[in-house]
Chain A
């Protein structure tokens, strides 16, 4: 059997539900008598909301189309174009998650190479016309072609593989650095994926040299074909600078430093990508593609990738259809919003509501000066948005006009949604809601941005407790995508549905959480930090404690997070949690001392441990009482605590499933995809079973199937 037949046999019956991207071929008469182009349209038969992807069947379809084209002698060139708005967005991830053997993993990588490389080896020039989004394998198709044009309207071009836990291994690591040089290639292959999976636009791709020509969307294909004809006739010359003479080591090393900084070795994919890029300078096509096959196979069979795919699915799907949210039809319209308080959080909320809902937002405060400051903050932020070109002058006027202040709560009379962002104290918040209830309609939703107080208790004394809901944002509210929507004991479905509708309009990913201390993210972070702090309290060197979890590749160390949150807030939450669960949540005396000393955290302005803080910690223990832990001890202790806490939260019904815990950690704490949030990591390291007696997720859900 030929290799392709082997692959076919191996992949036979797999991916039965693959949405197959067809390769439709039509002849096009090029202008200026340049001959006939066989133009391949990639189209999976759906609109742009279901982009073209490539699984085995799609690859074989393209292979068959290329067979038919190469059998002809009357073709002067081959073109590849996407369906409207979409070129192709890469491998079929659903299929990737189903690969169950290394043999199969090798096969899918090799099949991709076998088909795509044909585009560069046809004997006639090939052109990719990148008319729409091109990602991963989609961009690699274009890279295999001899020439590329791009539409200036393309919103997204990327090689996001490293973001997920893969490498652009259908030729990307070999072709791109040779085309545009290693430095620019690493930006796409490494830097952007590790920066919240940043994408570039058509003009950026042209500027980077990924595309040889750029045309406007209005007549992109026509002008691309005209250009192709000119290239074929020799009227347009395309420069291809040779980058292989340069020394690639410095830029590869520089990228490696960046990866280390972000991941600390936690996920293998970017490191494999770096090695492949380094190889591309000297490797032949065969060698380079074979190395890609190996890397793809290893990574496809890695738990880090499976966790990444699981995480991707959570943020792409589950985040958009929150588990347990009541029907949208129950949601009430929100035409005016009230914000109690005019502090920084309140002002941020006012701006967010005004921008996203485009309805009047009234801030109230008892103090005119604070009110002025709050409104001033909003206006200042609007000015900044305008200066950055994010809003027009008219929109800026509109936004400023939408946000007003009032010294009395009468201004809430016709509001449909009032959110409080006052001091984190139950009695204060109860009083605020009681006052608001005097003014507003019976159905006005009262939302609280509390991070740890009981929503049920806050509603207890109201005439209409069913209208109270928790609306927990993460700071900074404009940036972090998570919104924990908290259902109190009395909260009714209409209120909850309204809260979800508002959350969606605010472009937040909402997770339904049952009322309980600190909800999800803060509860887990507090528990986790509590263990690390306790280790330090017990005499573990601060650096050891703080770097004990580096191998997870978290966005920041526990003490860096403490610094960001502020010791006072962290202490306050720790105390609240200690009150709720004294057995598991301690209150560090050293943390209290840190707050008393007015320190911003453990680190000084030079990013080193503040000597006074070190003294403070060391003063709490004597050599006789000290029981320092090792890095492994601290890590295991913190992870075991997380596993225990998550199991308890699931048993308490805080969220519907482990998936919601993971979604919260991905979006609210920014924990990396290769951890899957956290439960896949706890499962694959055996900690879940060790601590709770079972895994959180079945094998195969976020790991390689057994």
Chain B
């Protein structure tokens, strides 16, 4: 067994992201079927990868019940028609589920336990609203282990505005509008569609349709347009539907492999895993999580923030991105940050988003062969951050 091997990101796809709810794209579509589509498209796009060479299928979901339960990595693998010899498992780190799926299989690949793995995530927030079935231990509050606002993500975002008084609502709104503009441009330039797998969606009353594009983006969003939106988490607060990601349904997946095996199979790696780190913070300001996780990942890689040429940071809330940028001294409109836009426009089906960041980073790398390093990072509920540093192989 080799002591350590280089791990590469080969290819990633995702379903279009839908809006959660009875009118959404996927209102009557099962979560596991979304994962199946992703796995099958990955296999179809990479004919050099024999299905039996997939050594693991790690799929994340935050709410692991119903169509997101039954050890979804395994059940989706079977439903996707992978050989029964291919194992699978389910992962949960809330918003960083898919990211954790990638880092977990990467660890296994590096250790030599796997050659090739599929990692991804799914969240059907329409079928599984945030917090479905949770039963928080009363000790959290009785012993003041966490603040009462810790489990309501919008409240943690408001708390983050408190921690960073320089980040006001106007900055958050401006960042959100820019995100919508970047997504509209990326769509117009055909940057996004190439990694979307169309999904047949059936609604009993309407018949079959086909989801081909994200439902969430609102091109043409203006500052004026979102300025007056309600602040549901605090009266006269700052966090609105306009400067936050939405509630969404979607699935993502990618092929991760040992570099030498990718070469053997003729797969073209797009990025090499440099380092990764997760870190914990106070749950009531979970949005600062990416700061310590990124510092840790940089330290592990022997890099500094100045070495990073591209940032894919999940836009759970604009404030959380801005806090990260402020901490590292990066401008709000730095072109290295989320060049294709982010979750404020695309949407954020919790456990699936980590791989969306990687898909976009890998495509941005391809356009920027001059950039050597990039990061994907995101904040996580219960007070965590996750960061993966990648090297551009383009």
Contacts and interface: CB of A to CB of B under 8 A. Distances in A.
B44 to A, nearest CB: 9
Contact of B209 (A39, A43, A226): A39
Contacts of A226: 198
Contacts of B81: 216, 218
Contacts of B206: 24, 26, 41
B226 interface: no
Interface in B156-215: 197-200, 202, 204-210, 212-213
Nearest to B41: A219
Given A31-B212, A218-B81, A39 B207 contact: yes
A219 B36 contact: yes
Interface string A70-92: 00000000000101100000000
A221 B204 contact: no
A221 B29 CA distance: 14
Contacts of B198: 31, 222, 225-226
Given A218-B79, A219-B36, A222-B37, A28 B209 contact: yes
A45 B197 CA distance: 28
A492 interface: no
A222 B41 CA distance: 11
A27 B209 CA distance: 7
A41 B36 contact: no
A599 B133 CA distance: 77
Interface in B120-177: none
A30 to B, nearest CB: 8
A221 B200 contact: yes
Contacts of A41: 202, 206-208
B80 interface: yes
Nearest to B197: A222
B202 A84 contact: yes
B207 A25 contact: yes
B200 A222 contact: yes
B210 A43 contact: no
Nearest to B212: A29
B200 A43 contact: no
A226 B197 CA distance: 11
A646 interface: no
A40 interface: yes
Given A219-B40, A222-B37, A29 B210 contact: yes
B223 to A, nearest CB: 31
B42 to A, nearest CB: 12
- Chain A binding surface, main DSSP class: strand
A26 B204 contact: no
B204 A45 contact: yes
A82 to B, nearest CB: 9
A131 to B, nearest CB: 9
A225 B198 CA distance: 10
Report the contact-size class of chain B (Cβ under 8 Å from the partner). 20 to 34
Contact of B208 (A29, A39, A45, A216): A39
Interface residues of A, number: 22
B79 A28 contact: no
A555 B46 CA distance: 55
Contacts of B36: 218-219
Contacts of A26: 206-209
Contacts of A216: 81
B199 A222 contact: yes
Interface in B4-53: 36-37, 40
Residue from B37, B80, B208, B212 with most neighbouring chain A CB atoms (10 Å): B208
Interface in A1-36: 24-29, 31
Contacts of A225: 198, 200, 210
Interface in B246-305: none
Contacts of B212: 29, 31
Contacts of B79: 218
B204 A43 contact: yes
B26 to A, nearest CB: 14
Given A41-B202, A218-B80, A225-B198, A81 B208 contact: yes
A544 B340 CA distance: 88
B210 A24 contact: no
Given A218-B40, A218-B79, A222-B199, A40 B210 contact: no
Nearest to B210: A28
A24 B79 CA distance: 28
Contacts of A27: 209
A27 B206 CA distance: 11
Nearest to A225: B210
B210 A222 contact: yes
B86 to A, nearest CB: 15
B202 to A, nearest CB: 7
Nearest to A22: B207
Contacts of B199: 222
Residue of B40, B79, B205, B210 contacting most chain A CB atoms (<10 Å):
B210
Nearest to A79: B208
B209 to A, nearest CB: 5
Nearest to A226: B198
A288 to B, nearest CB: 31
Interface string A344-382: 000000000000000000000000000000000000000
Given A216-B81, A222-B37, A222-B198, A40 B209 contact: no
Contacts of B40: 218-219
Interface in B53-96: 79-81
Contacts of A84: 202
B150 to A, nearest CB: 40
Interface in B201-251: 202, 204-210, 212-213
A369 B239 CA distance: 86
B79 to A, nearest CB: 7
Contacts of A29: 210, 212-213
Nearest to B40: A219
A81 B208 CA distance: 8
25 contacts: A24-B205, A24-B207, A26-B207, A28-B209, A29-B213, A31-B212, A39-B208, A40-B207, A41-B202, A41-B206, A41-B207, A41-B208, A45-B204, A81-B208, A84-B202, A218-B36, A218-B79, A218-B80, A218-B81, A222-B37, A222-B198, A222-B199, A222-B210, A225-B200, A225-B210
Interface of B: 36-37, 40, 79-81, 197-200, 202, 204-210, 212-213
Given A25-B207, A26-B207, A41-B207, 10 more contacts: A26-B206, A27-B209, A39-B208, A39-B210, A45-B204, A84-B202, A221-B200, A222-B197, A222-B198, A225-B210
